Amino acid sequence: MSILTRPILEINLGNLKKNYLLLKGLAPKSEAAAVVKDDAYGLGAETVAKVLYDEADCRCFFVAHGIEGEKVRAVAPNAKIYVLQGIGEDSLQSFQKAKLIPVIAGPEQLKFWKEHKIDGIKPAIQIETGLNRLGFREKDLFEMSPDDRDLFSLVLSHLACADEKDHFMNEHQLQNFLRLKERFFSRLPASLSASDGTFLGADYQFDIVRLGAAMYGINTAPYRENQMLPVVKVLAPVLEIAELQKGDFVGYSATYRAADNRKIAIVSIGYGDGVPRSLSNIGKVFFLNGGKTCEARIIGRLSMDNIICDVTEVPNLKVGDLGHIVNEFYTLDDIGRDAGTIAYEVLSRLGKNPRFKRIYSK
C-alpha cells in the first residue's frame, strides 16, 4: 500500500503536438498559430510554446498580455508573438524587450501606439464583426486616415458562435469581415478563426488560424465526436475509506444524507486545486480497479482540499489508490457540462495550482 497525499496533473505534450498538427492539417493553406494565453490555459506557456516551436515548427503565437509574451519569447526566438489585449503603459516594456506585436483594437490604443512605436514592429488591427468585444467599429474605420491604415500588418476578428456549425452569426460575421477587409485592408493578410472556426472550413480560415482550446484536447466542434487527443489527466489519492450509516450527513451544510449504509472515500483534491465546487453532489470520480472502470459519485459539497465520493460499488479499493478526476472517459468537456460551465474554464483553473505534482510526458 502506498500512502500518498498530493494530487497529480499529467500533461501529455506528445498529444498536444499531435493535436496541433491535426488542426494544422485542417487548414493547409493557413499559417497555424498557437494560442498560449492564460499560461497556455494553465498548462505552462513556456513548456507548451517550446515543444511547438522546437518540434512542430510553429512560428506564430498569440498571448493575451505583454508579460505572457515575454515568457514565450524566451523559448521562441524567431516567432511572431501577437498580444491580444493590446499595449499600454503597464506593458510597454514587455513589448520593447521581447519584440511583441500588439493587436490594436480601438482609436485610443492606436493613438498610444503612434506615440510609442517600436522599431521593426507593425501591429495587427482587430475589427469588430459581431461579437461586440474588442475591435474597431465600422465608424472608427471610416474615420481612420489612409496613413494610419498603412501601419498594420494583419487584420483580425473573432467569431462569437463558431462552436455551433449552423448558427446564423457565423455567416453574418464572415460577410462583415470580408466586407470590411475589402473596404479598408484589402492587401493585408487576415485571421478570423480560433479552433472552433477552423472546423467551419476553408471559407473561415484565411491566412492565419489561431489554435487554442482544441490543441489542449477540448472539443470545440461539439456537434460531432471529439477528434482531439486528450492532453490532460488529473489524479488524486484516496486518503481514507469509511462507512456511512443510514441517515448520516456528509460535508458542509449537510447537503447529502445517506439513504442506507454506504462506503465513502475521501480524495485529496478540492476546489482549491481548481475542481469546480459546482460539481458538488453532481460530479464523479473514477477508479480503475482490476481492469474495470468504476464510477464513484461525488456526494456532499466539495471542500477546498477534499472530495468525498460514494465508493460502495468500487471493489478492492485501498487507501492510497488514485482516483481519476479528469481522464479520457470523464473529460474536461464532461466536467464543464456537469459543472454548469465550459471546458475552457475548467482547464484554465486546474493548471494554475501549485499543489499539483506536475508530470509532463511526450
**308, 309, 314, 322: residue in contact with a second copy (rule CB under 8 A):** 308
Angle at 195 (CA atoms; ends 98, 163), nearest 5 degrees = 140
Q: Does 128 bind a second copy (CB under 8 A)?
A: yes
CA distance 203 to 33: 17
Q: Are 73 and 61 in contact (CB under 8 A)?
A: no
**26, 30, 34, 68: residue in contact with a second copy (rule CB under 8 A):** 68
Alpha-carbon distances, residue 105 vs 90, 110, 177, 239, 272 (angstroms): 17, 8, 15, 50, 35
CB of 167 to a second copy, least distance (A): 8
- From the list 17, 20, 24, 37, the catalytic residue is 37
What the block records as the C-alpha cell of 210 is: 489561431
DSSP 210: E
Residues 76-105 that bind a second copy (CB under 8 A): 84-91, 105
Q: Does 6 bind a second copy (CB under 8 A)?
A: yes
Q: Does 164 bind a second copy (CB under 8 A)?
A: yes
CA distance 274 to 348: 8
Using the contact rule CB under 8 A, the part of the chain among 4-12, 24-32, 176-184, 198-206 near a second copy is: 4-12
CB of 1 to a second copy, least distance (A): 7
- From the list 111, 252, 357, 362, the catalytic residue is 252
Q: Are 307 and 236 in contact (CB under 8 A)?
A: yes
The answer to whether 223 is a known catalytic residue is no
Binding track over 181-220 against a second copy, x by CB under 8 A: ----------------------------------------
Residue 168, phi-psi category: left (phi > 0), alpha (psi -120 to 50), beta (remainder): alpha
**74, 202, 242, 359: residue in contact with a second copy (rule CB under 8 A):** 242
Q: Does 47 bind a second copy (CB under 8 A)?
A: no
Using the contact rule CB under 8 A, the part of the chain among 18-26, 145-153, 273-281, 288-296 near a second copy is: 273-281
CB of 226 to a second copy, least distance (A): 19
Q: Does 288 bind a second copy (CB under 8 A)?
A: no
Q: Does 249 bind a second copy (CB under 8 A)?
A: yes
Calculate the CA 44 to chain-centre distance: 11
Q: Does 39 bind a second copy (CB under 8 A)?
A: yes
Which residues of the chain form beta strands (DSSP E)? Answer: 8-12, 31-35, 60-63, 80-83, 101-104, 124-126, 154-156, 190-191, 208-211, 232-244, 249-250, 256-257, 262-267, 284-289, 292-297, 307-310, 322-326, 357-361
**66, 69, 197, 230: residue in contact with a second copy (rule CB under 8 A):** 66
The residues, ordered by sequence, that sit 6+ positions from 20 with a Cβ below 8 Å of its Cβ are 32, 34, 52, 56, 58, 211, 215
**176, 278, 289, 312: residue in contact with a second copy (rule CB under 8 A):** 278
Q: Does 320 bind a second copy (CB under 8 A)?
A: yes
**169, 178, 229, 282: residue in contact with a second copy (rule CB under 8 A):** 169
CB of 29 to a second copy, least distance (A): 27
What the block records as the C-alpha cell of 226 is: 471529439
Q: Does 246 bind a second copy (CB under 8 A)?
A: no
Helix (H/G/I), strand (E/B), else coil: 185: coil
CA distance 144 to 139: 9
Using the contact rule CB under 8 A, the part of the chain among 123-131, 215-223, 290-298, 325-333 near a second copy is: 123-131
The answer to whether 29 is a known catalytic residue is no
Nearer to a second copy, 51 or 194 (CB): 194
CA distance 238 to 312: 14
Helix (H/G/I), strand (E/B), else coil: 344: helix
Residues designated catalytic: 37, 252
